[in-house]
Amino acid sequence: MYCPEHFTEADANEIDRIMAAFPLATVVVATDQGLLANHIPLLRQGDDQLIGHIAKANDLHHLVEDNTEVLAIFQAEDAYISPNYYPTKPETHRHVPTWNYQVVHCHGRINFDHSTKGKTAIVGRLTSHFERQAFGDQAWRMADAPKDYMAGMLDNIVGFTIDIARVVAKSKLSQNREPVDYDNVAEVMMAEGKQGLGQRMKSLKDSD
């Protein structure tokens, strides 16, 4: 990804936040039949691994071999940025429109897991994480479903891990604008309900 220094997101906590808040990753591979992307919720396991699963009917596990290079993209909020958002516009008119956004790219290698034990562990971690996040104590548990049903569901999926080799993260947030313009873009983001972008702009300013 093209990522100039001033847009590089180097804060590990912010990278974690983006991956956790926008877990539906775009998982890209290059196959003999061309580029292929699937949209899969992923969970970080330790610092260097992502876990997820796909339907057994998804050709991905036939099209690519274990240890194939993949790119997993986590995309946070984005917003069109108009020259009208810059208070200095009437003075200089030296502005053009742009787009702000935050993304995390995890480059790594995928390995599939067809074992019942491995799949149960992956599904268990994902379920427990997302259900607890959504419902706390009222979380649905895998044990709530009949055993024959869960066995059938597990039989219809393939688990996988992605070993992360390299992370590139970008927070494109008007860091290259005048302070007065930067501040107003942050206000516009908050007013538009893009809290993630607005809050990150404010925290970047506070940490200056």
Binding stretches for its own copies (CB under 8 A): 1-2, 4, 24, 26, 28-30, 34-39, 41, 54-55, 57-60, 69-71, 73, 75, 78, 80, 82-84, 89, 93-97, 99, 101, 103, 105, 107, 123, 126-127, 130-131, 133-135, 138, 140, 142, 144-146, 149-150, 153, 170
Minimum CB distance to its own copies smaller for 39 or for 208: 39
In the complex, the smallest distance separating the C-beta of residue 66 from its own copies, rounded to whole angstroms, is 17
* SS (HEC) of the chain: CCCCHHHECCCHHHHHHHHHHCCEEEEEEEECCEEEEEEEECEEECCCEEEEEEECCCCHHHHCCCCEEEEEEEEEEEEEECHHHCCCHHHHCCCCCEEEEEEEEEEEEEEEECCHHHHHHHHHHHHHHHHHHHHHHHCCCHHHCCHHHHHHHHHCEEEEEEEEEEEEEEEECCCCCCHHHHHHHHHHHHHCCCHHHHHHHHHHHHCC
Minimum CB distance to its own copies smaller for 170 or for 200: 170
Minimum CB distance to its own copies smaller for 138 or for 207: 138
In the complex, the smallest distance separating the C-beta of residue 118 from its own copies, rounded to whole angstroms, is 17
In the complex, the smallest distance separating the C-beta of residue 166 from its own copies, rounded to whole angstroms, is 9
Minimum CB distance to its own copies smaller for 66 or for 192: 192
In the complex, the smallest distance separating the C-beta of residue 53 from its own copies, rounded to whole angstroms, is 11
Q: Cα separation of 98 and 92, whole Å?
A: 17
Minimum CB distance to its own copies smaller for 191 or for 207: 191
